[in-house]
């Protein structure tokens, strides 16, 4: 693992080993991160990236192994100790107090004394210096919830720098950003690196690794399988290292053969629980045998649109037509009977009951079907047999219908949902984030199933924040911004064009 | 790291951990007994002999157990749908009215086994009626079920006062209670059950409702784990968003669950009203509704666990009564302290030992 690097190492992990019960999350990990570099760590979900970073940040303790910072062995007992050692972490889900200002958030936990006034004054000065040094412009008096996501992330970075971090860990930082915002983040990261900070970037997006990192380490099944200089590797090589076999990065699909309109949305407006308009006068059709993709940055109304079509959220005006008939007031159970299947965005809270055993989840929403039990009773035998068939067909691992759903990996959990919805042989399929938190091998599998559904003449509506996914699957792409459909493009539309539309800049 | 997610074998989860919690509770109770100058060992011995030593003691213990099974089931059914029913006390109290009205109406004309099914239905209906308004308020208006069921305990208490003092009281008597039911309105004693084990039931009020309680345990098990309704209740209880995704109607499940829960609480009245005193008396529930919360939590909301924890509380009630009789230093209030310890360690602190047990288990199994 020794790459001849002229710079001295900022972090060395030596022989880190961690087990959770029977799961060997980190196996004898050795990693050296050079000072003043951007070091990417990639791997599928469950490869052990997050565990490794959590050990470095003091959330977990390694069973064996040593951490050295600037050559000195350290014990990191908790996040306080990590901060003291100069490590800062920017979490995937921001740890900000939404109704505090930027300044208050940055100070939080480092107020310096019982009375605020003095601390506020010095924090303001320090914040100004950090902003100037690193080009991280944010208004210190802006309230967090009023800031765009990209700025919130900059506040997270400022927070870490304010606490004196020399080493920054970013966990999937671009998941919530538009392409322009991501570009801005990368610019900031380069400035930080050039000023001598060390950056560890955890991601599963190969493109980001290629765009920004100096060095990249690949993890697979708890092991560090390779470290490469980014300039000397390729996307294909990294993908193969991650999965352990060759993978198709681009889905193969033939031309679409669209038929009759199965599902229509007319002037649909949906408000969220606070009364804010999330979907604003949206209309479109989905035909049999085509995949319509909805692109957009998370939070621009796609979730509410999907929930409205699925019958979970009541629209405030407009209508949804299935086979030309309005389905106003029809609940999700009724919509299932009309042939609408729904793979929800959030499998943890919506698509699955994590505490249930696998076979119980494989009937969720269809549990009233006669084949799962006559009258009021459930036929557990029939349910388990049915689950076993799906497990075989979708290669769900471990193949145990009695296992708690929470104990399956993200990819296998998603397969449970996909198997349940597709095997019902619906006429229409609405899908939210089909591969969020799913490993590459499973992504390939799920994408193939979606294409098969299209080729079998089903109407498919796909929502994803992964632009690559939308582009590789969709026959038509609708771009959503601030609750409106701002444009329609063919499946071949360029990333640049779509990116600008997603940011609300061009139509 | 958090050890809450580490899976442990069932015998540790459902056997060892509750047992250790119980031992801790008794240890601390022993310290309290020792602090007031009595011998903890003697006290424990007296408690156990009082509860289980003789046929009569066992009869009393199982009598209390019966009440706690009903209220424990009531709480458990609601918890499975994510509802915390604090109103079992009031629902049981109103259930008593239902049972008593049936008994008063029928005891002149038919034998007990004809009255019984009607009394079961009457008690359940009145209990369910008491839960219906809080359930509706939760389902349709979002008023928190904990608050509304607590309020209904007070409402029912006042209503029953009024009923007993003004309407149901025997004219010319001072005690606010109904007339004594004739045998046609009483549930028979289970003297044969105690006799099977060679004991004598004596004055103990153990009665037929014990068997009804056991049948209800089985029915609740079927409901929760073997029916589509139970599946919908559990889905809603664990994940309301998954329930809405699956087309499970929130208000429907909340209503049905609370009616069943209230009905089970109402059936508890059969035991004291028709089984023991053969009349409806003021405040006959005596806190059994609240004990049901502890019973359900300690029994992991499972009917089998509820039988065991109801038995434990039955032992504490009966043994405690004997203990305070035999040991003058230990008052009735001391018994409440001991019961409180059990609730504290088995309920509130139930996960206190878990992390260290997880670590020990992982070391021993070498994982």
User: A167-171 and A87-90: which strand pairing?
Assistant: parallel
Residue with tokens 């038995």: B311
Contact A350 B249 (CB under 8 A): no
Q: What is the pLDDT of residue A4?
A: 47
Minimum-distance CB partner of A376 among B228, B234, B245: B228
Residues of chain B neighbouring A354 (CB-CB closer than 8 A): 238-239
Q: Would you say A141 and A103 are in contact if contact means Cβ atoms under 8 Å apart?
A: yes
Taking the C-alpha atoms of residue B107 and residue A326, their distance in angstroms, rounded to an integer, is 59
Q: Would you say A382 and A373 are in contact if contact means Cβ atoms under 8 Å apart?
A: yes
Minimum-distance CB partner of B228 among A368, A406, A407: A368
Taking the C-alpha atoms of residue B198 and residue B129, their distance in angstroms, rounded to an integer, is 42
Residues of chain B neighbouring A356 (CB-CB closer than 8 A): 234-235, 238
Q: What is the pLDDT of residue A506?
A: 66
Minimum-distance CB partner of A331 among B228, B249, B362: B249
Q: Which fold does the domain A9-243 belong to in CATH?
A: Rossmann fold (3.40.50)
φ, ψ for residue A496, nearest 5 deg: -60, -50
> Superfamily for A261-502?
P-loop containing nucleotide triphosphate hydrolases (3.40.50.300)
Per-residue pLDDT tens digits for B284-340: 999 999 999 989 988 889 999 999 999 999 999 999 889 888 888 888 888 888 888
Taking the C-alpha atoms of residue A223 and residue A311, their distance in angstroms, rounded to an integer, is 44
Q: Name beta bridge partners: A9.
A: A34
Q: Is the Cβ of B1 closer than 8 Å to some Cβ of chain A?
A: yes
Taking the C-alpha atoms of residue B246 and residue A369, their distance in angstroms, rounded to an integer, is 13
Q: What is the pLDDT of residue A1?
A: 41
Q: What is the pLDDT of residue A2?
A: 43
CA A215 vs. chain centroid, Å, equals 23
User: A261-271 and A317-322: which strand pairing?
Assistant: antiparallel
Give the mutation candidate from B9, B142, B231 for the A interface (greatest A CB count, under 10 A). Answer: B231
A261-502 matches A9-243 in CATH topology: yes
- 3-state SS of A303-329 is HHHHHHHCCCCCCCEEEEEECCEECCC
Give the mutation candidate from B221, B245, B359 for the A interface (greatest A CB count, under 10 A). Answer: B245
CA A341 vs. chain centroid, Å, equals 22
The answer to whether the peptide bond before residue B261 is cis (omega within 30 degrees of 0) is: no
Helices (H), A328-379: 332-337, 358-361
Low-confidence ranges of chain B (pLDDT < 70): 1-7, 348, 366-367
- Torsion sign over Cα B33, B38, B41, B43: negative
Overall domain count for chain B? 1
**Closest-CA residue of chain B to A306:** B245
Q: Report if residue B83 sits inside a domain.
A: yes
Question: H-helix or E-strand containing A29?
Answer: strand A23-34
Taking the C-alpha atoms of residue B114 and residue A315, their distance in angstroms, rounded to an integer, is 54
Q: What is the pLDDT of residue A340?
A: 96
Minimum-distance CB partner of A353 among B6, B230, B239: B239
Contact B247 A342 (CB under 8 A): no
Q: What is the pLDDT of residue B302?
A: 94
Hey, what are A226's tokens?
Answer: 């390779």
Q: Would you say A395 and A425 are in contact if contact means Cβ atoms under 8 Å apart?
A: no
Residues of chain B neighbouring A360 (CB-CB closer than 8 A): 231
List, in order, residues 6 or more apart from B168 with CB less than 8 Å away.
Answer: B100, B177, B178, B280
Q: Report if residue B46 sits inside a domain.
A: no
Domain locations in chain A? 9-243, 261-502
Which of helix, strand or coil describes residue A39? strand
Taking the C-alpha atoms of residue B242 and residue B228, their distance in angstroms, rounded to an integer, is 15
> What radius of gyration, in Å, describes the C-alpha atoms of chain B?
21
| Chain B nearest C-alpha distance from A347 (Å) | 9
| Chain A nearest C-alpha distance from B108 (Å) | 39
Q: Which parts of A344-483 are beta strand (E)?
A: 428-432, 459-463, 476-481
Mean pLDDT, rounded, of chain B: 91
Reported as half-sphere exposure (CB side, CA atoms, 13 A), residue A287 has a value of: 11
Minimum-distance CB partner of A332 among B7, B235, B246: B246
Hey, what are B126's tokens?
Answer: 């009145």
Residues of chain B neighbouring A351 (CB-CB closer than 8 A): 242, 245
Q: What is the pLDDT of residue B61?
A: 96
Q: Is the Cβ of B6 closer than 8 Å to some Cβ of chain A?
A: yes
Residues of chain B neighbouring A19 (CB-CB closer than 8 A): 367
Q: Would you say A306 and A463 are in contact if contact means Cβ atoms under 8 Å apart?
A: yes
Domain coverage including residue B187: 66-310
Contact B242 A59 (CB under 8 A): no
Residue by residue, pLDDT tens for chain A (507 residues) are 444 445 688 999 999 998 876 678 899 999 999 999 999 999 876 788 888 988 998 888 888 899 999 889 998 888 888 988 999 998 877 889 989 999 999 888 777 777 788 888 888 998 898 888 888 888 889 998 888 888 888 899 999 989 889 999 998 888 777 777 888 899 999 999 998 999 999 987 788 889 899 999 999 888 999 999 999 998 888 888 887 777 666 677 888 889 999 999 999 999 987 788 999 999 999 999 999 999 988 788 999 999 999 999 999 999 999 999 999 889 999 999 999 999 999 888 899 999 999 999 999 999 999 999 989 999 999 999 999 999 999 989 889 999 999 888 888 899 999 999 999 999 999 999 998 877 777 888 899 999 999 999 999 999 998 888 899 999 999 999 989 999 999 888 888 888 888 877 765
**Closest-CA residue of chain A to B242:** A350
Taking the C-alpha atoms of residue A41 and residue A218, their distance in angstroms, rounded to an integer, is 6
**Closest-CA residue of chain A to B359:** A21
Contact A354 B232 (CB under 8 A): no
**Closest-CA residue of chain A to B8:** A21
| Chain A nearest C-alpha distance from B82 (Å) | 14
Contact B238 A355 (CB under 8 A): yes
Q: What is the pLDDT of residue A172?
A: 84
Q: Report if residue B43 sits inside a domain.
A: no
Contact B242 A332 (CB under 8 A): no
Nearest alpha carbon to residue B92 among B126, B115, B64? B126
Residues of chain B neighbouring A368 (CB-CB closer than 8 A): 228
Residues of chain A neighbouring B366 (CB-CB closer than 8 A): none
Per-residue pLDDT tens digits for B271-300: 999 999 999 999 999 999 999 998 998 888
| Chain A nearest C-alpha distance from B75 (Å) | 20
Taking the C-alpha atoms of residue A381 and residue A373, their distance in angstroms, rounded to an integer, is 9
Note every long-range contact of B274-277, with CB atoms under 8 Å and residues 24 or more positions apart, other chains counting: B274/B99, B274/B100, B274/B103, B274/B119, B274/B181, B274/B185, B274/B186, B274/B187, B274/B207, B274/B209, B275/B63, B275/B66, B275/B186, B275/B187, B275/B189, B275/B205, B275/B206, B275/B207, B275/B208, B275/B209, B276/B63, B276/B205, B276/B207, B277/B205
**Closest-CA residue of chain A to B2:** A60
Taking the C-alpha atoms of residue A209 and residue A170, their distance in angstroms, rounded to an integer, is 13
Taking the C-alpha atoms of residue A81 and residue A47, their distance in angstroms, rounded to an integer, is 26
Give the mutation candidate from A55, A364, A377, A380 for the B interface (greatest B CB count, under 10 A). Answer: A364
Contact A356 B238 (CB under 8 A): yes
Nearest alpha carbon to residue A476 among A254, A260, A295, A263? A295
Hey, what are B80's tokens?
Answer: 């499975």
Q: How many residues does chain B have?
A: 367
- Torsion sign over Cα B27, B29, B35, B40: negative
Q: What is the pLDDT of residue A49?
A: 86
Give the mutation candidate from B7, B246, B354 for the A interface (greatest A CB count, under 10 A). Answer: B246
Q: Would you say A317 and A500 are in contact if contact means Cβ atoms under 8 Å apart?
A: no
Q: Is the Cβ of B246 closer than 8 Å to some Cβ of chain A?
A: yes
Residues of chain A neighbouring B367 (CB-CB closer than 8 A): 19, 21-22
Residues of chain B neighbouring A332 (CB-CB closer than 8 A): 244-247
Per-residue pLDDT tens digits for B97-134: 999 999 999 999 999 999 999 999 999 999 999 999 99
Residues of chain B neighbouring A59 (CB-CB closer than 8 A): 1
Hey, what are A21's tokens?
Answer: 């019960």
Contact B242 A353 (CB under 8 A): yes
φ, ψ for residue B330, nearest 5 deg: -100, 110
Between B112-136 and B250-267, two packed helices, what is the crossing angle to 10 degrees? Answer: 140
- 3-state SS of B168-217 is HCCCCCCCCECCCCCHHHCCCECHHHHHHCCCCCCCCCCECHHHHHHHHH
Nearest alpha carbon to residue B58 among B204, B275, B190? B204
ipTM over the 0.90 cut-off: no
């Amino acid at each position: 693992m020794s790459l001849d690097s002229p710079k001295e190492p900022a972090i060395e992990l030596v022989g880190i080993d961690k087990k959770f019960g029977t799961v060997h999350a980190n196996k004898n990990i050795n990693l050296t991160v050079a000072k003043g570099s951007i070091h990417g760590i990639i791997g599928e979900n469950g490869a052990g990236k997050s565990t490794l970073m959590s050990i470095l940040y003091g959330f977990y303790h390694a069973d064996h192994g040593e951490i050295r910072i600037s050559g000195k062995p350290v014990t990191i007992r908790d996040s306080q100790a990590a901060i003291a050692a100069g490590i800062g972490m920017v979490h995937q889900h921001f740890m900000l107090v939404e109704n505090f200002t930027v300044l208050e958030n940055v100070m939080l936990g480092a107020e310096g004394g019982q009375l605020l006034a003095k601390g506020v004054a010095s924090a303001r000065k320090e914040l100004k210096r950090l902003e100037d040094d690193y080009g991280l412009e944010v208004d210190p008096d802006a309230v967090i919830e009023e800031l765009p996501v990209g700025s919130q992330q900059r506040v997270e970075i400022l927070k870490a720098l304010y606490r004196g971090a020399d080493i920054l860990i970013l966990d999937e930082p671009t998941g919530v950003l538009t392409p322009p915002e991501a570009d801005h983040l990368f610019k900031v990261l380069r400035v930080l690196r050039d000023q001598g900070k060390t950056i560890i970037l955890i991601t599963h997006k190969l493109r980001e690794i290629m765009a920004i990192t100096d060095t990249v380490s690949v993890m697979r099944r708890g092991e560090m399988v390779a470290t490469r200089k980014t300039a000397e590797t390729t996307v294909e090589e990294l993908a193969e290292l991650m999965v352990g076999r060759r993978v198709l990065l681009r889905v193969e699909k033939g031309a679409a053969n669209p038929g009759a309109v199965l599902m229509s949305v007319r002037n649909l407006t949906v408000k969220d629980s606070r009364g804010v308009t999330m979907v604003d006068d949206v209309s479109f059709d989905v035909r049999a045998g085509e995949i319509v993709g909805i692109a957009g940055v998370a939070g621009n109304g796609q979730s509410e649109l999907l929930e409205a079509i699925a019958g979970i959220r009541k629209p405030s005006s407009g209508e949804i037509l299935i086979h030309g008939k309005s389905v106003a007031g029809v609940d999700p159970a009724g919509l299932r009977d009309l042939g609408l299947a729904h793979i929800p965005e959030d499998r943890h809270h919506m698509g699955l009951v994590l505490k249930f055993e696998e076979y119980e989840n494989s009937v969720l929403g269809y549990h009233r079907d006669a084949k799962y039990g006559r009258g009021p009773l459930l036929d557990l035998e029939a349910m388990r047999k049915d689950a076993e068939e799906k497990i075989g067909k979708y290669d769900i691992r471990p193949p145990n219908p009695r296992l708690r759903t929470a104990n399956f990996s993200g990819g296998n959990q998603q397969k449970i949902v996909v198997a349940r919805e597709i095997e019902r042989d619906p006429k229409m399929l609405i899908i939210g984030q089909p591969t969020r938190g799913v490993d590459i091998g499973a992504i390939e599998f799920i994408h193939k199933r979606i294409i098969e559904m299209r080729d079998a003449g089903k109407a498919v509506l796909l929502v994803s924040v992964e632009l690559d996914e939308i582009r590789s699957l969709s026959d038509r792409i609708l771009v959503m911004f601030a609750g409106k459909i701002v444009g329609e493009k063919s499946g071949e539309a360029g990333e640049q064009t779509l990116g600008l539309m997603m940011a609300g800049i061009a139509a | 790291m958090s050890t809450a997610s580490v899976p442990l074998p069932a015998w540790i989860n459902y056997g060892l951990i509750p047992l250790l919690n119980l031992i801790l509770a008794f240890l601390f109770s022993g310290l309290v007994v020792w602090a007031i100058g009595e011998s903890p060992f003697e006290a424990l011995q007296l408690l156990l002999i009082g509860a289980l030593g003789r046929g009569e003691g066992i009869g009393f213990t199982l009598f209390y157990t019966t009440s706690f099974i009903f209220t424990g089931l009531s709480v458990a059914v609601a918890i499975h749908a994510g509802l915390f029913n604090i109103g079992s006390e009031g629902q049981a109290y109103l259930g008593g009215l239902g049972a008593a009205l049936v008994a008063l109406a029928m005891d002149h004309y038919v034998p007990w086994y004809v009255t019984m099914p009607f009394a079961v239905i009457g008690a359940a209906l009145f209990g369910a009626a008491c839960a219906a308004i809080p359930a509706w308020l939760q389902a349709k208006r979002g008023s928190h079920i904990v608050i509304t069921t607590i309020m209904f305990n007070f409402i029912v208490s006042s209503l029953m006062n009024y009923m007993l003092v003004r309407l149901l009281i025997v004219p010319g008597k001072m005690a606010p209670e109904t007339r004594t039911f004739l045998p046609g309105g009483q549930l028979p004693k289970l003297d044969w059950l105690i006799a099977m084990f060679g004991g004598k039931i004596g004055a103990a009020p153990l009665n037929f409702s014990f068997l009804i309680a056991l049948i209800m345990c089985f029915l609740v098990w079927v409901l929760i784990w073997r029916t589509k309704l139970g599946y919908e209740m559990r889905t809603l209880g664990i994940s309301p968003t998954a329930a809405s995704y699956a087309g499970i109607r929130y208000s429907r499940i909340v209503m049905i669950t609370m009616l069943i829960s209230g009905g089970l609480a109402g059936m508890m009245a059969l035991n004291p009203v028709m089984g023991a005193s053969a009349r409806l008396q003021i405040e006959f529930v005596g806190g059994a509704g609240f004990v049901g919360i502890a019973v359900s939590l300690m029994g992991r909301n499972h009917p089998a666990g509820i039988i065991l924890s109801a038995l434990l509380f039955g032992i504490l009630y009966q043994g405690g009564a004997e203990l305070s009789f035999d040991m003058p230093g230990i008052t009735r209030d001391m018994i409440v302290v001991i019961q409180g310890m059990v609730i504290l360690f088995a309920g509130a602190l139930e996960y206190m030992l878990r992390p260290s047990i997880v670590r020990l288990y992982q070391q021993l199994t070498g994982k």
